[in-house]
Amino acid sequence: MALRVLVIDDHADFRRLLGHHVTTRWPDALLHYYDPLVSGRLPAAFPGTSYDIVLLGDPAGGKDAVEWVRALRSRPRFPPIIFFGSGEERQIVAAVKTGAEDYLTRSRLIHGRVVEAIEQVLIGGRAAAGGTGGTGGATVESSLAGLPGLPAYQLIETLSEGEISSVYLTRERAAGRLAVLKVLRQVPDSGGEKHFDRFLQEYELIARVDHPNVVRIYNLGIADDHAYIAMEYCSRGSLKRQIREGIGSDQAYALLRVIAGALGALHEVGIFHRDLKPTNVMFREDESPVLIDFGLAKQAHFQAGLTGTGAIFGTPYYMSPEQGQGDPVDQRSDIYSLGIVFYEMLTMKKPYEGDSAMSVIIQHREAPLPQLPDDLDRFRPLLAGMLAKDPADRFQTVRELLDWCPD
């Protein structure tokens, strides 16, 4: 029997694109295109049982398509839904929790991934049975990018992929909770032993840190020659997003103290973050900030940034002068990076920018700190103590920093 597919999206071009992905793999597929802007919601009496699968794009009818998932999955024997959204992490979780079988980011569609998602839904247990109607919390039974040694995790979405590591949003099969899975790609016999050792040693220490603003580590180890770590998922996005939306000076000051406290807990067990930046501060559902991503293989990324032509790879914006020069770093380097983040929270600007990584690194070493606006001048002494070029002139410890800036 031919595959029967209902495609729902506000945009005709995207509906046709999804249809092309389907018919390339299943030439005899029967496609029905539905325009919610023209036709509105699917009628309440529409059961959907004449279709094998629904491809649902966001927005639908100009509104959040997650609400469509919730309504449609409440209908008995409604077919499985694959959700195509913005890729924003909160939406991924909401779509899956309300019953979407899989989630794909519409701006990063790859034919193989679309086909794989459909195939996995069609062969998956309850999906093949037409679903159970509104049970929610379903995830696609997909392998983790060719990593069969991690069967305890169900893939929901690939969050990032790099030469050294990749990050996935997953669900733990046993506990049922969401987890971010970070996988280090180098295998030991290809020269990656040093990365493996550092990865496991540092995260074993971090897993023992009991601090409310340090990410919770669920599990770590090696599977099929890949080191991995499973950690808590923070659904409210990163500090970068909050900076973009604007942060009041009092809130920025409060966040500075919280992040500093988390850094201090790491420093007490001998861990230096080495890559503190807004994207490495995440927020839980209750809006509490969480420090993540503790310097894994940053030297390799740094070298890549220096050898590139004209591209800045993110980290140099927040590097201390000594780190930019390749010198040994300690807790004072993290304090410098925190100062840069604080400056950005206050002003919505990075203090040093340039057309190459090296030009930014040189400014960290030589350029004076740009003047703060008059209404923020009260923070000038604090920033001076965090952003001194010479580490000896900075706050020497997080405790010293916190004592200097009380509640």
Catalytic residue among 9, 10, 58, 275: 275
Residue 350 has phi, psi (to 5 degrees) of: -85, 140
**What is the length of the chain?**
407
**Helix, strand, or coil here: 94?**
helix
Q: Among 384, 402, 403, 404, which Cα is nearest to 394's?
A: 384
| Joined tokens for residue 358 | 């090296």
Q: Among 312, 307, 309, 337, which Cα is nearest to 322's?
A: 337
CB 96 within 8 A of CB 60: no
**Helix, strand, or coil here: 119?**
helix
Cα(first)–Cα(last) distance of the chain, in Å? 68
Q: Find where tokens 């010479």 sit.
A: 390
Q: Which residues pair with 53 in a beta bridge?
A: 5
Q: How far apart are CA 298 and CA 317, in angstroms?
A: 14
Q: How far apart are CA 27 and CA 4, in angstroms?
A: 11
Within 8 A by CB and 6+ apart from 130, the residues are 49, 77, 78, 79, 80
Q: How many helices and strands (H and E) does the chain possess?
A: 15, 12
Angle at 191 between CA 321 and CA 334, to 5 degrees: 20
CB 117 within 8 A of CB 124: no
CB atoms closer than 10 angstroms to residue 46: 14
Q: Find where tokens 């004072």 sit.
A: 332
Is-catalytic flag, 225?
no
Q: Is 403 exposed, middle or buried (0-12, 13-18, 19+ CB in 10 A)?
A: exposed
Cα→Cα distances 312→114, 134, 257, 307, 376, Å = 32, 45, 28, 10, 28
Which amino acid does the sequence have at 100? Answer: A
Enumerate the active-site residues: 275
